[in-house]
Amino acid sequence: VGDMSLAKHLLVEYFDCKEGTLNDPNMMERFLTETAKLAGCTYTNGTMHHFSPYGVSGVVLCVESHVTVHTWPEYKFASVDFFASRDAIDPWTGFKHLSECLGTENYSVSEVKRGIKNLLPPKKAIQGGEPNPDKQQWYYDMFPAPEMGSLVETKGKSLCTVKSPYQNIHVVETLNYGKMLMIDNVINITEKDEFIYHEMMIHPALMTIPNLKKVLVIGGGDGGCVREILRYKELEKVVMVDIDKEVVEVSKKFFPKTSCEFGNTRLELIIGDGIDYVLKSPDESFDAVIVDSTDSTDGASEPLFTVEFYNNCKRILTKDGILVTQAECLSAFPKDFEKCFAMWYNLFGKENVFMLRAFLPTIIDCQTFSYCSKGSLHPWKSLNQEKVDKFVEEHQLGYYSHDIHLASFSIPPYIIQKLDEIKSKLQNQHRTPFTQTQPNYFYVANFHYQKK
């Protein structure tokens, strides 16, 4: 694996296995599952068949590999093969564990390299395969890399596949998350947890704006951001600009609860280029700008992550306006994370840019957002608890609350350290402590604690 081959394949013959281990399919499945997990594999499922009068054959399937077994209890013999298609997988660790499970040190083992790279033609980019509509299966979102992904079990039912001029749009039915929208084979939203993303992208910012009149959304084709923004009765208008009409239409058809406000008279929906719209917008024309894009590494959204674009976003904000963005994930996109926050610090000032996080089950790490304040507004100093509590109760929100608002801005030390390093690079001076660690309250369990 790695520079030499695409995969490695361990072929093992176990002799003199402990009596009672080779004729129990449940025990054998447990052994193989433990073996796969200890080797670093992402387990999906397994199946075993018990022969009459004795013998077991079976397989444990993983995202990156498989382990198969065939046993002959009458000879105390088992044949096992372990296929691994990633460098991070160590089949030898699994081999040793299975030896212990079978109670034997008598074995024959060989490793075979599969797909020797210098014997293969040059690598060719191809479109990812679509789910088989006839079979339940696991969908593994390998974005940004195979070792960092989200695993979602689908019902194997493909509901919609659309190829727009900008991206591939796909909807599948999942076992635990309802319908799932994928953009270029990357999870975008699911019915079960989209409310977390959209509530946390909108309310921590808009709740701090005292005279909210006009909001701009760039992207957001699923409609979730618009839905949350239009909960504010004092709002006069929201403009949404998305370049891909197909995302909007697919969301209307398959995600009606998310896209339910597309017909609202206070919404101006524009299918067009968000960058061009921002460029041509008058100065100080929006109280908030929400950039609900896919990741910066995605082709369709890459132009949104530039100094010119965000400088224009700042220009069209009112004097106390707020910019909110989907802010990348440090563990998945460390270089992009640094680039984005360095850009926002430069544009808005290091003391006016804040990071908040929310947990979504279908995201490998916490979802990260930025809160960039053009003027005097502050993410917790400008917050009115009575206003928040009343709003949450009135709209029966599922995730956002006053406590969650404060907690979301309390971020782990390793991220504080990284943001601190970014700020230090910008000023080329001694490190300045990151002031975001000083909210008035933070939330633990069901109790409030005041910072001393």
DSSP class per residue in 88-134: T--HHHHHHHHHHHHT--EEEEEEEEEEEGGGSPPP---PPPPPPTT
Q: Rounded CA gap, 81 and 83, in Å?
A: 7
Q: Rounded CA gap, 172 and 156, in Å?
A: 7
Q: Rounded CA gap, 160 and 250, in Å?
A: 8
Examine the pLDDT at 360 and tell me if it is beyond 70.
yes
Token code pair at residue 414: 């390793």
Task: Classify strands 77-84 and 5-15 as parallel, antiparallel or unpaired.
Answer: antiparallel
Examine the pLDDT at 130 and tell me if it is beyond 70.
no
82 or 293, higher pLDDT: 82
Per the prediction, the chain carries an average pLDDT of 85
Question: What would the mean pLDDT of 386-395 be, rounded to a whole number?
Answer: 98
Phi-psi sector, 53: left (phi>0), alpha (psi -120 to 50), beta:
alpha
**Backbone dihedral angles phi then psi of residue 35, each to the nearest 5 degrees:** -60, -45
Which range, of 69-78, 209-218, 431-440, averages the lowest pLDDT?
A: 431-440
pLDDT tens track for 228-254: 999 999 999 999 999 999 999 999 999
Examine the pLDDT at 286 and tell me if it is beyond 70.
yes
Exactly one of 141, 222, 287, 292 is catalytic; name it: 292
Which pTM was predicted?
Answer: 0.68
Give whichever of 121-135, 288-302, 399-413 has the largest mean pLDDT: 399-413
pLDDT of residue 185: 77
Is 337 in a helix, a strand, or coil? helix
Percent of the chain with pLDDT strictly greater than 70 = 84
pLDDT of residue 332: 73
pLDDT tens track for 311-342: 999 999 999 999 999 887 777 778 888 888 99
Is position 403 annotated as part of the catalytic site? no
